[in-house]
Amino acid sequence: MERKEKFVLWFDEIGIDDIPLVGGKNASLGEMYQNLTKKGVRVPNGFAITAHAYCYLLEKSGVVDDLKRALRGLNVQDVDELANVGKRARDIILSCAFPPELQVEIAQGYHRLCKEYGTKDLDVAVRSSATAEDLPEASFAGQQETFLNIRGVHELMAACKRCFASLFTNRAIAYRAEKKFDHFQVYLSIGVQKMVRSDLACSGVMFTLDTETGFPNVVFVTGSYGLGENIVQGAVNPDEFFVFKPTLVEGYSPIIDKRLGEKATKVVYAHEGSKTIKKIQTPASDQKKFCLSDEEVLKLSEWGVAIEDYYTHKKGKWMPMDIEWAKDGRTQDLFIVQARPESVQSRKNRNVLQTYKLVQKGKVLAMGKSVGSKISQGPAHVIEEVHDIGKFRKGEVLITEMTDPDWVPIMKIASAIVTNRGGRTSHAAIVSRELGIPCIVGTNDATEVVKTGQKVTVSCAEGEHGILYDGYLKFKVDELDMVHVPQTKTKLMMNLGNPDDAFELSSLPNEGVGLAREEFIVNEYIKIHPLALIHFAELTDAHARAQIEHLTAGYKNKTQFFVDKLAMGVSLIAAAFYPKDVILRFSDFKTNEYANLIGGTQFEPKEENPMLGWRGASRYYSEGYKDGFALECQAIKKVREEFGLKNLKVMVPMCRTPAEGRKVLAEMKKNGLVRGKDSLEVYVMCEVPSNVILAEEFCEIFDGFSIGSNDLTQMTLGVDRDSALVADIYDERSDAVKALLKHVITIAKQHKKKIGICGDAPSTYPEIAKFLVDCGIDSISLSPDAIVKTRLLVAEHEQKKK
C-alpha cells in the first residue's frame, strides 16, 4: 500500500515534507522525532492518523455533499450565522460511524504504543493537525481541538471523531474563508502521542527570538504550573526567562533575565485517570518560586537552539521557532511536544525602523506587559463573555479578561487589545502580533477601571510596561530605512539606562554602548540600598524591613538579590549589543539619591552639596561603602564569567585624582575584577578639570577616557547645573570647556588611549559633534533619539574634511 493510502503513519515514518499527508503539527513532530531525538531532544513517541483516513471517513459515510450544502453561501462576518453553520457541520461529522478497517488500524497503533511504554492503558494526547496549519503564511494555530489524558480504545475513537469534527469549529471556518482556503482542500490528520503528565509539574512555550522586537540572539522561555492551556489561553501571568544564545552554545549559563510570574491558577485533571480538566488555585508557596530550575531553563534553551539550527539548515534560511514544552511530574523529565516556525517577527523587515512616541501625558487607567511597540486609540469596549462578541465594532479597543481562538473574529477588527490576565506568549499576545496591533496583557483590573465607550489610548511604546491612558493622547510615528544610513569613521555609540529598551534600540545603527547607567537598574530593578541588604539584621526601619522582605522573597541570602538583579539588568544591555563594546559606569548616585533607596537613610550622611560630595570613586574604597561596591563587582564578574559577556567594559565616575584611581583598581582586584584579565578594560570618566590637567597620569592607570560633558561644564564654569538661577551661564559650548575637550583628546591620542564622550553635548548641539570630530575623538555616545540625525551630520562633516 502506498504511503498516501495508509490510515496510520508513525512519527519515525513522517517528516516536514509530509504536511499534505499528516498536517503541519504531525509533520513537525515526525521531523523532530526522527532527527532531533538523536541530539538529545526528548519528543514523546506516537503516530499520525492521516488526512487520507479523514477523507475515507467522509467518503464512506457519504456526508461530503451534506457538508457542502451546510457551508454554501455562509457570511462569516455574521457571528450568529457562523455559529449555526459551524454546529451543523460538526454534527454531520459526529454522526458518522468509523469504517471497521479504520477502527482496526487505529486500535492496533494504540496497542503498539502501549506496548512500547510498558502499560496496558497508556494515557495519550490526541491532537488535531490540519494540512494547511502551522505554515508561516497561515499561522493562527490552535483552531482545531486537542484532547488530553485519553485512555483505552473506546475513548480514543471518541476523541478522534471529535477531532475530525473540529475542522469545522467556527474560528476555523472563518479563518479559512479569510485566507481563501477551500474548506474541502484542507484536511485533518490526528496525532496520538504519549501523554506528558505536566498536570503534576509544569509546561509552557518558548520562542527562539524575542517576541516583541524580533531580537534574534535569545531564547524566550515562559512557564507555569499544570497543563499548557493556561499559558496559551493567557489565563495566567507565567514565569519568563531570557537565555542568550551566542554564549549558551559556548558552554556558559547565560540566563540573562528571569521574572517571576503570578501563576495564580493551574489546570489539572479533575481526578486521577480523568480526561476532564479543572482549574485550581496554585499554592502560595509555589507562586513565589520559579516553576523551572536554572538547569531546566538552560536545557530547554539548548533544545530550542538545536531545533532552530536544524530547521534553519534544512530550509536554507533563518527559521526562528515557536515551541511548546512540558515537564512530566512523575519522571521529572522535560519534553518538547510541538514546534512550528515563528510567524510574525521573522517576516518583518528589520531594516525599516518604525518608532512610535507619545508626545502628551495623560491619566493612567491600567498597566500591564506591553506586546509590540505601537500606540493606538479608540473607544473602549469591555466584553466579559465570548457570547457577547457580536456587539463589538471595528476600531474599538477590546478590554477583556483573556482571549482564546473563539475571540479571533473581533480581534481582527480591534484597534488594540487589553486583557486582565496572561503573559507575552498568551493567545491575546500572539494574535495581536499577527495583526500588528498593540496589546497590553496582565493588567489585572482593566475590565473594572474602564467603561465601554470611554475614549482610551493604548501605548506599548514605553518599554516593558504597556500603559492604558484615559482619552486620546497625541503621538507621532517616525520611519527610518536603515539601509541608507551612512557609515562613519568616528564610532557612534549609544547612551542607555533602561535594560527593557535594549533589544529594540540595538537595531538602530550603532557601534555599541558608550554609557550604560547602573543607576536606572538599581532604582527600577533593585530599589534597595546595598548596605541595607548587607546589614539587614541591624536595619532599624520596620517599614523598610517589610519592603525588603517582600522584594527579596525566595532569597535566603539577601545580598545575592542585589547581585542577581544588577547582573541581569546589565546583561540585557550587554547581550543586546553583543559582541560590540558595552561600557558600564559604576554607580554614580549622590548621597541624597542613595538615601532615597529603601533602607538608605540609615547608611547615608547628610551633605550640604551632594553634587560635589561623596560620590563616584570616593565611595568605592571608603569604609562607609566599599562592601556595597563589592556587590557591584560581583554582579559584573557574573555577567562576564557566568554569562560569557566579555564585551562588557567598566568605567569609574568622578575620579578626582590618580591616587583615587589606583585605590579603585585595588578594590576591584580584591573582588575578582582585574584590569586586563579576560580583555577587561577599565575607563575613567573625564568630568572634573583635574582629569584633563593630569590626563597623562590618568593614562598610566586606565585604558581610556569617556568625557562627561555635563559635569565637566559644571566644574569648569563653577555653575550648579541644577540651579535655574544661573542656567543661562551653563553652556557646554563655552570656549573654556572646548579648550579642555581638545586638550584631553590630544593627550589621549598621544598615549594611544581610547577616548570618547558620553555627555549630552553632542546629542544636543550639532556644532559640538562637529568640533569633536575635528579634534579626532574616537567615539561619540549619543541618546537614542539623536543617533540617526547625528550619524547623518557626522558622515557629511567627515566627507567635507577629506
Active site residues: 427, 758
Q: Is 458 exposed, middle or buried (0-12, 13-18, 19+ CB in 10 A)?
A: buried
Determine the 3-state secondary structure of 436 from DSSP: coil
Query: What are the C-alpha distances in Å from 494 to residues 370, 577, 665?
Result: 24, 10, 26
Determine the 3-state secondary structure of 10 from DSSP: strand
> Residue 38 and residue 323: Cα distance in Å, rounded?
18
> Residue 372 and residue 375: Cα distance in Å, rounded?
9
Cα-to-chain-centroid distance, residue 678: 29
Taking the CA atoms of 20, 25, 31 and 34 in sequence, report the sign of the dihedral they define: negative
DSSP string, 727-788: TTT--TT-HHHHHHHHHHHHHHHHTT-EEEE-SSHHHH-HHHHHHHHHHT-SEEEE-GGGHH
Cα-to-chain-centroid distance, residue 72: 43
> Residue 421 and residue 400: Cα distance in Å, rounded?
9
> Residue 541 and residue 547: Cα distance in Å, rounded?
10
C-alpha cell at 350: 528589520
Determine the 3-state secondary structure of 606 from DSSP: coil
Are 425 and 338 a contacting pair, CB within 8 Å? no
**Helix, strand, coil proportions of the chain in percent (round to 5)?**
45, 20, 35
C-alpha cell at 734: 563655552
Residues whose CB falls within 8 Å of the CB of residue 37, separated by 6 or more in sequence, listed in order: 43
Are 327 and 228 a contacting pair, CB within 8 Å? no
Residues whose CB falls within 8 Å of the CB of residue 666, separated by 6 or more in sequence, listed in order: 621
